[in-house]
Amino acid sequence: MNDVKLAVLGREGAGKSALIVRFLTKRFIGEYASNFESIYNKHLCLEGKQLNLEIYDPCSQPQKAKISLTNELHWADGFIIVYDISDRSSFAFAKALIYRIREPQTSHCKRTVESAVLLVGNKQDLCHVREVGWEEGQKLALDNGCQFHELSAAEQRLEVEMMFIKIITEILTN
Ligand code: GDP
């Protein structure tokens, strides 16, 4: 059986837990109260292959300028980087995370420059108070060799599911 380890990172409040819980339970839980980092397990069958998926949710990401990520970089096969399209500071945080993952100095880690990274602009249902344009997300992703999705954990169950499947497939084919 294949093991796939996925870390979901981003600024506090971007919707990491909402996306994970949506994928695992198909439900949107508005206020998901957990102050602890968690690793969730799920068995999946994808294109006839059995796999054991582990998803890491840090719950609250440190808001400091220099992001360490040392443990995550050693542990994960792929990363979902989440920002909130209605919060520009969360986009800046996502950018810093991507740069950290793509840094050449991290080449001793499990995955580096070529690792699967998917950038997600969450809360698309709040596009009337949007602070980050779709094009900005797309450009950041393109410039750094990432996939990009804009979606809403609150309103788009299928898109959330497809987004997870897409990055898992990329990890498996790498
Ligand atoms: P985390 O700190 O990144 O894990 O963020 P949470 O998953 O705890 O979500 C933070 C807040 O954003 C909560 O109040 C969620 O209900 C809300 N939220 C998450 N996803 C969405 C979304 O797609 N749309 C809207 N409107 N709110 C969302």
Q: By alpha-carbon position, which residue is closest to atom 15 of ligand 1? A: 30
Instruction: Read off the pLDDT of residues 100-113 as tens digits, 9 standing for 90 and up.
Output: 898 876 555 555 55
pLDDT attached to residue 38:
85
What is the C-alpha to C-alpha distance for residues 48 and 59, in angstroms, rounded to an integer? 32
| Nearest ligand 1 atom to alpha carbon 59 | 4
CB of residue 36 inside a 6 A radius of ligand 1: no
pLDDT attached to residue 83:
98
Any idea which of 68-82, 138-152, 156-170 has the lowest mean pLDDT?
A: 68-82
- How far is the centre of ligand 1, averaged over its atoms, from the C-alpha of 34 (Å)? 13
Instruction: Read off the pLDDT of residues 27-55 as tens digits, 9 standing for 90 and up.
Output: 888 777 666 778 999 999 988 889 999 99
Q: Cα dist. 147→30, 60, 137 in Å?
A: 26, 24, 10
Instruction: Read off the pLDDT of residues 83-137 as tens digits, 9 standing for 90 and up.
Output: 999 999 999 999 999 998 988 765 555 555 567 999 999 999 999 999 999 999 9
CB of residue 156 inside a 6 A radius of ligand 1: no
CB of residue 14 inside a 6 A radius of ligand 1: yes
What is the percent of the chain with per-residue pLDDT over 70, rounded to a whole number? 86
| Nearest ligand 1 atom to alpha carbon 60 | 2
Tell me the pLDDT band of 62, cut-offs 50, 70 and 90. low
Q: By alpha-carbon position, which residue is closest to atom 27 of ligand 1? A: 123
Contact partners, residue 30, CB within 8 Å, separation at least 6: 18, 154
pLDDT attached to residue 2:
86
Alpha carbons within 13 angstroms on the beta-carbon side of residue 58 total: 21
Task: Provide the 10 A C-beta neighbour count for residue 96.
Answer: 17
Q: What torsion do the CA atoms of 45, 46, 47, 49 make, to the nearest 10 degrees?
A: -60
CB of residue 109 inside a 6 A radius of ligand 1: no
Tell me the pLDDT band of 65, cut-offs 50, 70 and 90. very low
Q: End-to-end CA distance of the chain: give it in Å, rounded.
A: 16
